[in-house]
Structure 1
């Protein structure tokens, strides 16, 4: 939750830049396309993949138990970003 609150200004800045670029291109003020909500899902897809690889490669008896937990945390963050990006797109 804290990470989501901390990265909100980043997603807001990206969306504002996309809206400004669209306004310059079309001349319509504050026109927002549904695709402007997808950059977080793009990052989330990358995090899901990385998280699953980290989790899979670290589930061995001789590796410390926190390593797969970190991988599942990365996977969870990516899943959250993908779902929120897709559901706001729809």
Structure 2
């Protein structure tokens, strides 16, 4: 039974890799040169900013920001609420 679980996880990983790589190759891009946000967001028409921040205690954090929608101009009259997504916030250990 463990072999089926391992096979399933390998298959799932391979599918994710192929689905992430194929759209970039179709557009003639090399996704390995960009960060996750840039390689996943810009192909859908959004702009993306990626920043690296080092905290006072030495942790290096990678921050991603989508500054505007697909059709928005930078100084839009309609202000939208920010959305913060953080991995592991609601995890109980």
Task: Mark yes or no: TM-score above 0.5.
Answer: no
> Between Structure 1 and Structure 2, which shows a larger proportion of strand residues?
2
Q: Which has the higher contact order (CA 8 A, sep 6+)?
A: 1
TM-score, length of structure 2 as denominator length:
0.28
TM-score, length of structure 1 as denominator length:
0.29
> Between Structure 1 and Structure 2, which shows a larger proportion of helix residues?
1
User: Which structure's CA Rg is the greater one?
Assistant: 2
